[in-house]
Structure 1
Amino acid sequence: MLDLWDGQLRDIGYESMGENGISGRRYFQKGRDNRTYHVHVFQVGSPHIERHLAFRDYLRTHPIEAREYGDFKQKLAQEFPYDIGSYIQGKESLVKDIEQRALEWYRDNSKLRRTTQEE
């Protein structure tokens, strides 16, 4: 079912990278080596959806951490311009730290939204 996205995203310039390290995901990138854009597609109900949305939303609402994360990724990209494995490994610890805070923040905010909606 997920593979149905391949043609549609390819038509608008995205390259399919398959699961790219996460089972049950389809990963697409645009921008060649610069990877200026990327899309993650998951089957409805995937446990990875919450994790990715929490990370995204957390960084959107925490601009200082987002800037620090972006700066760190830029540093790694300069250090490993042709070694994506080292780039990914270099940011892994920071991503896990942010992800843990993001999930806690996301779940707390989800509870708050549900409570507010019930009132």
Structure 2
Amino acid sequence: MVGLERGTVELVTHRECWRGTFEAEANRLQDIAGDRLREIEHVGSTAVEGLPAKPIIDLLGLVDSLETARELVSVLEDHGYEHRPNDDVEDRVFLAKGPETERTHYLSLTTPGSATHREQVAFRDYLRATPSVASRYAELKRELAARYPDDRASYTRGKSDFVESIVDRALDEELED
């Protein structure tokens, strides 16, 4: 089961069905967009086994250019997505699926190797590979969700320093390999 009202924060325990939900939506998007979508990755907390998460599936779609991403917006809007312009993320096009009362999917379109691509994958992979860090992140998320159940912006701000430190560490370790 997926879906959460926009602006609210509710964490649920990890569900095995999230992988299948991601795969079904990725296949649907591939059918809709064809070869304009080079690859689709499952990112975010629902992609990390054992991590509590908001029940919204995060997808990262790779396209050849941001122009291609912008061209896909109207196609995706015809299939249940809403374009959500980003003020602070320049290298992606962001869309949400589902009505505001029950968002089910977030889709970031970006180019391979962009900061968005590298950071989202590095963060996901680091949490998957480092259970102690994933556990600390889960604890922080639970604390913030309890404090800010109706204030998604404060919840997100509360996580930002932790997330940035893990992304930096993950990218640094990637460079060392």
Q: Same fold (TM over 0.5)?
A: yes
RMSD: 2.6
Q: Which moved more, 1:43-52 or 1:57-66?
A: 43-52
Structure 2 gap segments, 5+ residues each: 1-66
Q: Does 1:81 align with 2:114?
A: no
Partner of 1:66: 134
Give unmatched runs, 5+ long, in structure 1: 112-119
Cα distance, 1:74 vs structure 2:
2.8
**One-letter amino acid of the counterpart of residue 116, structure 2:** H
Output the CA distance in 1 between the equivalents of 2:92 and 2:116.
8
Contact 1:15 1:30 in 2 (8 A): yes
Q: Which of these residues, 11, 19, 40, is aligned with residue 86 of structure 2?
A: 19
1:72 partner SS: helix
8 Å contact kept, 2:96–2:106: yes
Cα distance in structure 2, aligned partners of 1:99 and 1:4: 30
Is the alpha carbon distance of 1:19 and 1:107 closer, same or farther for their aligned partners in structure 2, counting shifts above 3 Å? same
Correspondence for 1:98 = 166
How many residue pairs align between the two structures? 109
Distance 1:4 1:67, change over 3 A: farther
Which structure shows the bigger proportion of residues in helix conformation? Answer: 1
The aligned residue for residue 110 of structure 2 is 42
Question: Per-residue displacement from partner, 1:82-113 (whole Å, max 9, x unpaired)?
Answer: 222211211111111111211122223xx3xx
TM-score (norm 2): 0.50
Tell me if the contact between 2:81 and 2:97 (Cα under 8 Å) persists in the aligned partners.
Answer: yes
Question: Quick check: 1:29–1:37 contact (8 Å CA) kept in 2?
Answer: yes
Equivalent pair of 2:96/2:107 in contact (CA under 8 Å): yes
TM-score after normalising by structure 1: 0.69
1:51 aligns with 2:119: yes
Q: Distance in 2 between matches of 1:27 and 1:78?
A: 27
Aligned pair in 2 of structure 1 residues 15, 59: CA closer, same or farther (>3 Å)? Answer: farther
- What letter corresponds to residue 27 of structure 1 in structure 2? F
